[in-house]
Structure 1
Amino acid sequence: MPTGSLTSADDPEPVRVVFTPSGRAGAVKAGTTVLDAAREFGVDLDSVCGGRGICGRCQVEPSVGSFPKWAITAGPEALSSPGGTETAYAGRRPLGPSARLGCQARVQADVVVDVPPESQLHGPVVRKTVDVGDIALDPLATLHAVTVPPPTLDERRGLAQVVIDCVADEWGVHLAGILPGALAGLHASVAAGSPDDAGGRLVTVAVRWSGPERSERTGMVTAVWPGIATAALGVAIDIGSTTIAGHLVDLHSGDVLASAGRMNPQIRLGEDLMSRVSYVMMNPGGAQELTALVRDSLAALITELCADAGAEPDAVLEVVLVGNPIMIHIALGIDPTPLGQAPFTLATDAAVEVDGPEMDLPCPSARLYVAPAIAGHVGADTAAAVLAGGPYRDQAITLLVDVGTNAEIVLGNSDGLWAASSPTGPAFEGAQISCGQRATPGAIERVRIDPATWAPRVRVIGCDLWSDEPGFAEAVERRVAVGARSAAAGVTGICGSGIIEVIAEMYLAGVLSPDGVIAAPPGEGERASRVTSDGRTSSFVLYEPPEGADGPTITITQNDVRAIQLAKAALRAGIDLLCEHAAIEAPDRVLLAGAFGAHIDPVRAMVLGLIGDCDPDEVRSVGNAAGTGAVRALLSGSQRTEMERVVRSIRKIETATEPRFQELFVAAMALPHATARNPLLAAVVDLPSSPRRTASPHHRTRRRRAVPMSEEA
């Protein structure tokens, strides 16, 4: 157990302090503040104001009672009574009933002091809106309040060096220098600082640290503010091709203060990434136009987040940016056209750091960190998702899938990771589908089909009722109209999760053959009424508005089925290709990332053949994994180092040049699959007894371990 001492030979009766949960302890002179004792013993106790009783970050909880483990019996008198500074404290973080300010409470007798997580600069984080998992706070931006002495004629140092020396004297923190952006307003900030009796000025110094390990990091002054500033904020942003989402976070507490999202304004110049690359190729100045659009959106998003939290953008010291390679290139002002054609060469796959103003962000003191990319079409968003999902942390073989216009796939465990991207196209997002639409109120998101009658039931976004339940039509008209405002009420189309379910249900009910052909039932009856024909192909009638109600009839055409088959075959072939490289038949668990993954029914996804055969209970959504990983990187420099290390170890498999990809793609066109067995799926759902090609007797034996990359041929 680490110990220390603040006593001298003239102090015959030292008192002991034990800090929990760290267990660090030592002897101190009576009258020593808890904060000073914590610093002496290396206890993680936060403070911004430097012991002035202003910021409230050093709150502790003294424990009263008998503690045999440390041979201490502590009473209320173990700490000094609250003084005037403590009783007058009225900071942003109120004092609890038994809490004390560590900088004001003085140790008078043996005592056990608890440092709660919110008082630990590097404490564990438990979040509600963004589940970042089990990490310790390790921010790269910190605040330090210091008193700058009044200037004198014989002072030979510049003001910047005086501030740096004050930080060293008051905090024991040695800095390398001050950034140019902090120099512009340095004199004004110090002059406006809170005066003391000696003519000094109280200011807050913002420091930005760089370097892989905490003990080796170098600090630079990024801003100096008059008085006490307690807000050190950061923003984590995921730039998607469709949406841009961000979270405003308190870097000292880990609290998510606000979350917001907006449509990517580049959509008007091209819905998918390749169309935006084409726009750059065909339009002089197109790259600059796309860059300006995304930077304007980033600035507006940060301003919105700060407004929602009642904060100023000036307090944002860190920004973490993730996204697919093309979006990141455009945001940074790098030509994206090399990513539009083989060999899809990145300008850089390393992490990039720039000052916020260089990206036109409204944060003059912010440093922007762009996460590293894995390969040409597997970018920083996938790197962040890997950090959040953590497939490299244990032996269970994990498949991480982020389904979008371009699906990113990562497979492996602590022995090795493989990654690939598959060109699934926009079908899963509702594009190329006759009645497809984005996931907005009125879109069908759930489907069930009666195998005997082929009668469908649907549920739409904005209504909890199924279509065969009383009150559905009225509820849809009312709720969708409120949710969509000016949009048409009623059932308006079908979104991605609904598309997955309807194709799977059509197969289970016998509407679709294993080859994806819509059946034409002979004769009349309810089955026949569900299928229409144009003479060449058939369509399945999924939903008809009630008599007298407006709205479209929702049908699934043969072309719709083919579009989904092509998309799912591309994804499945990519997954199967990675399984071959990892020498496994199927993963132990599947993590579905992104908004689309959050709403997929695992069983229907397996019926469709979107993913291979596995235990449905081991298929789960991890939500916006890219955004979660970005928040982890925002809160912890150690997490950034870990992400960069893991990314460099991932082996990228290029589907476009793999000889096996086409063969796997053809086999994956069938429902669920032309050759793969599905015993785990068959245990939870009745699959149609259709003729199947027999699997090869030389099928792979499932392994519980991915082959390390060094062992792969």
Structure 2
Amino acid sequence: MPYVRILPENKIIKVIQGKRLLDILIENNIKIPSYCGGAGWCGKCKVKILDKGISLACQTYVEEDLTIKLLKEEGTDINIQKDFWENSNFILSPVITLQAFSLEIPSLSDSRSDLERILAIKENIYIRDIFVLRKLPIFLRKNNYKGKLVLFENEIIDVREEELKRVYGIALDIGTTTLVGHILDLTDGSDIDSYSTENPQLPYGADIISRINFIIHNPDGLQILRDRLIKTLIEIIQNLCTKNNINLNDVYALSITGNSVMTHIFLGVTPENIAFSPFVPVFRNMMILDSRDIFGNLFNAKVYVFPLISGYVGGDVVAGIMATNLLNKKGNIMLIDIGTNGEIVLKSKDALFACATAAGPAFEGSNISHGMIAKNGAIYHVWLEGTVKFEVIGNMEEKGICGSGLLDAISVMLDLRIIDLTGRFIKGEEFCLGRVKITQKDVREFQLAKSAIRAGIDVLLNKAGITYKDIDKIYVSGSFGSYLNKKNAIKTGLLPNIPLEKIILVGNSAIGGAKMILLNRFLMKDA
């Protein structure tokens, strides 16, 4: 049985002869990018095999002992996108409330049950969770029948000591590329902290179709993807609590938003039928679950899962609609969530139109020669000022280029006539930004992605019977919603040629909507 020695950790793994190196690394939790899911065309899973040189892990099969060196992944700190919601009339009415109580101690003249005493505290309250019922007798006697009820609407989800002053909620955005979490104080509505990291499913493909294919072709595929996701979400939750000295047991509510496929995987429900016409999801309705059903006995909280619109228009769009207050806007208003899935919503008169476009992962930096997501080391802004200049996230040496930087670079290349209006190179074969190169293939990947978005815009406008001139406002969300250059978006054809003031950059509107749900329980019904 051959082995693989991994440097610089000097880790040795015994493997089955003939097994693919990429699978070996993934199964042993060795972080390695593979945006094409091991199909062999993204070129991101490079390793150095001693005595043999650079090779793709997805194209390497272990027939004998190998010593490999992992190529350093640069810029590991994800850049947190700003979030957004229009909150001028927002009312704080959190999903979790506290109700203090002081009960009469049982006696021969008052032998009511513990549960009867608790339910008499407030009208219409109830206990559904057997764990809370089991906790009652010990808790009440230990605390002299005084304490606080933790309520989710009218359901008692815990009984706690008198001293408990604050409870918390966590909003989670499960993106195809990036996971984002915010921890909120549900007592006063403050946003305490945020944390972001790469989606751990990236080695199985940068887009949702690659992940569905992995599920279809691997009997344990769904479980593998879900386990990796849940493990990372737990790490986000624990990180937010530990960093801010918050007891995990004081977290009582979570809101979950994501595209339809990510939401299915989160719940352990197969999304495979979404890949085939007529693209039917298993469910579309919102769900309220117990955290034990998702995260085990880690903590006791209610989990709100955003509803889906269709197989390819998910809860992240519903959250975005909520964050931008789209339903209450007048005129022709468009919300464009630019990412691997280009999801677009148009409100025209009293109707809502929605579609999803196969933009692909180019806007997230995938399928681009030196592409990367928006994290330290990524070029995110390029411009002309006598010479070509650029800015890098983290103010460090450039390691790659993210979507907004690619958009700017394409615009500069047009201005310098390095490429023509069709995107073909007419000066040289590549465009260099320091150590980062943009090739003809990268330009074509960008054109495919932006054309998908633009086609979706045209389809919805046609469906509503209006034109570009009738658009009153466009909200742009996603990573682009934080860093997009509006002029360059119009110049390259990504967005229609409308006045710049009509284009509003809103960053991560999905996490904004997820936060709103936690802070106003009445919005659950609106979603």
Confirm or deny a common fold (TM above 0.5): yes
User: Would the aligned equivalents of 1:231 and 1:315 in 2 still touch at CA under 8 Å?
Assistant: yes
Rounded Cα–Cα distance in structure 1 between residues aligned with 2:356 and 2:522: 28
- Counterpart of 1:124 in structure 2 is none
Task: Please show how residues 592-607 of structure 1 align to structure 2 within 5 Å.
Answer: 592-607=476-491
The total of aligned residue pairs comes to 443
SS in 2 for 1:598: helix
Rounded Cα–Cα distance in structure 1 between residues aligned with 2:377 and 2:414: 25
Rounded Cα–Cα distance in structure 2 between residues aligned with 1:358 and 1:310: 26
Rounded Cα–Cα distance in structure 2 between residues aligned with 1:426 and 1:504: 19
Shift of 1:204: 0.9
Shift of 1:592: 1.2
2:146 is aligned with 1:202 = yes
Given the two structures, how large is their TM-score scaled by the length of structure 1?
Answer: 0.60
Flag the 1:626–1:159 CA change in 2: closer, same or farther, 3 A.
same
- Counterpart of 1:541 in structure 2 is 431
- Counterpart of 1:621 in structure 2 is 505
SS in 2 for 1:207: strand
- The amino acid that maps onto 1:184 is R
- Counterpart of 1:23 in structure 2 is none
* Residue of structure 1 aligned with 2:452, choices 570, 586, 589: 570
Rounded Cα–Cα distance in structure 2 between residues aligned with 1:442 and 1:289: 30
- The amino acid that maps onto 2:467 is E
2:466 is aligned with 1:584 = yes
SS in 2 for 1:517: coil
- Counterpart of 1:504 in structure 2 is 411
Task: Please show how residues 129-168 of structure 1 align to structure 2 within 5 Å.
Answer: 131=85, 133-134=87-88, 135-153=90-108, 155-165=110-120, 167-168=121-122
Task: Please show how residues 386-405 of structure 1 align to structure 2 within 5 Å.
Answer: 386-405=321-340
Flag the 1:140–1:597 CA change in 2: closer, same or farther, 3 A.
closer
Task: Please show how residues 383-532 of structure 1 align to structure 2 within 5 Å.
Answer: 383-413=318-348, 415-449=350-384, 455-463=387-395, 480=396, 490-519=397-426, 531-532=427-428
- Counterpart of 2:26 in structure 1 is none
| Deviation per residue, 1:596-648 (Å, 9 max, x gap) | 321110000000000111111221211110000001111112212222xxxxx
Rounded Cα–Cα distance in structure 2 between residues aligned with 1:449 and 1:258: 36
Percent identity for Structure 1 against Structure 2: 31
Rounded Cα–Cα distance in structure 1 between residues aligned with 2:461 and 2:159: 53
- The amino acid that maps onto 1:358 is D
Flag the 1:607–1:130 CA change in 2: closer, same or farther, 3 A.
closer
- Counterpart of 2:132 in structure 1 is 182
* Residue of structure 1 aligned with 2:206, choices 231, 247, 271: 271
Shift of 1:380: 0.4
Task: Please show how residues 32-47 of structure 1 align to structure 2 within 5 Å.
Answer: none
Shift of 1:462: 2.8
* Residue of structure 2 aligned with 1:294, choices 209, 229, 236: 229
- The amino acid that maps onto 2:146 is L
SS in 2 for 1:265: coil
Rounded Cα–Cα distance in structure 2 between residues aligned with 1:510 and 1:270: 34
- The amino acid that maps onto 2:392 is V
Rounded Cα–Cα distance in structure 2 between residues aligned with 1:379 and 1:345: 12
Rounded Cα–Cα distance in structure 2 between residues aligned with 1:432 and 1:254: 40
Shift of 1:413: 4.3
Flag the 1:540–1:298 CA change in 2: closer, same or farther, 3 A.
closer
Shift of 1:154: 5.0
User: Would the aligned equivalents of 1:235 and 1:319 in 2 still touch at CA under 8 Å?
Assistant: yes
- The amino acid that maps onto 1:307 is T
User: Would the aligned equivalents of 1:132 and 1:632 in 2 still touch at CA under 8 Å?
Assistant: no
Rounded Cα–Cα distance in structure 2 between residues aligned with 1:370 and 1:506: 43
User: Would the aligned equivalents of 1:299 and 1:362 in 2 still touch at CA under 8 Å?
Assistant: no
User: Would the aligned equivalents of 2:378 and 2:392 in 1 still touch at CA under 8 Å?
Assistant: yes
- The amino acid that maps onto 2:486 is P
User: Would the aligned equivalents of 1:316 and 1:363 in 2 still touch at CA under 8 Å?
Assistant: no
2:422 is aligned with 1:560 = no
Shift of 1:449: 4.3
Shift of 1:289: 1.8
Shift of 1:407: 0.7
2:498 is aligned with 1:633 = no
- The amino acid that maps onto 2:313 is V
Shift of 1:423: 0.3
Shift of 1:130: 6.3
Rounded Cα–Cα distance in structure 2 between residues aligned with 1:180 and 1:131: 37
Flag the 1:245–1:440 CA change in 2: closer, same or farther, 3 A.
closer
- Counterpart of 1:121 in structure 2 is none
Shift of 1:179: 2.7
Look at both structures and tell me which one has the larger radius of gyration over its CA atoms.
Answer: 1
Task: Please show how residues 235-314 of structure 1 align to structure 2 within 5 Å.
Answer: 235-314=170-249
User: Would the aligned equivalents of 1:394 and 1:414 in 2 still touch at CA under 8 Å?
Assistant: no
SS in 1 for 2:424: coil
Rounded Cα–Cα distance in structure 1 between residues aligned with 2:248 and 2:103: 25
User: Would the aligned equivalents of 1:391 and 1:413 in 2 still touch at CA under 8 Å?
Assistant: no
User: Would the aligned equivalents of 2:98 and 2:149 in 1 still touch at CA under 8 Å?
Assistant: yes
Rounded Cα–Cα distance in structure 1 between residues aligned with 2:83 and 2:307: 25
Moved more, 141-150 or 438-447: 438-447
Rounded Cα–Cα distance in structure 2 between residues aligned with 1:177 and 1:185: 12
Q: Relative contact order: is structure 1 or structure 2 higher (C-alpha 8 Å, sep ≥ 6)? A: 2
Rounded Cα–Cα distance in structure 1 between residues aligned with 2:507 and 2:451: 23
- The amino acid that maps onto 2:242 is A
RMSD: 2.0
Rounded Cα–Cα distance in structure 1 between residues aligned with 2:456 and 2:494: 11
Rounded Cα–Cα distance in structure 2 between residues aligned with 1:228 and 1:302: 24
SS in 2 for 1:440: coil
User: Would the aligned equivalents of 2:172 and 2:257 in 1 still touch at CA under 8 Å?
Assistant: yes
Rounded Cα–Cα distance in structure 2 between residues aligned with 1:220 and 1:259: 29
User: Would the aligned equivalents of 1:320 and 1:369 in 2 still touch at CA under 8 Å?
Assistant: yes
Given the two structures, how large is their TM-score scaled by the length of structure 2?
Answer: 0.80
Rounded Cα–Cα distance in structure 2 between residues aligned with 1:620 and 1:501: 18
User: Would the aligned equivalents of 1:420 and 1:578 in 2 still touch at CA under 8 Å?
Assistant: yes
SS in 2 for 1:292: helix
2:257 is aligned with 1:318 = no
Shift of 1:351: 0.4
| Structure 1: segments with no counterpart, 5+ residues | 1-127, 196-200, 210-218, 464-479, 481-489, 520-530, 533-538, 545-551, 644-713
Flag the structure with higher strand content: 2
User: Would the aligned equivalents of 1:354 and 1:368 in 2 still touch at CA under 8 Å?
Assistant: yes
| Deviation per residue, 1:298-334 (Å, 9 max, x gap) | 2222222222232212122211111011111111111
Rounded Cα–Cα distance in structure 2 between residues aligned with 1:204 and 1:491: 53
SS in 2 for 1:622: strand
Flag the 1:151–1:364 CA change in 2: closer, same or farther, 3 A.
farther
Shift of 1:591: 1.1
| Deviation per residue, 1:251-288 (Å, 9 max, x gap) | 23111122212222222333221111111111122211
| Deviation per residue, 1:216-272 (Å, 9 max, x gap) | xxx121111133322222111111112211111122311112221222222233322
User: Would the aligned equivalents of 2:323 and 2:512 in 1 still touch at CA under 8 Å?
Assistant: yes
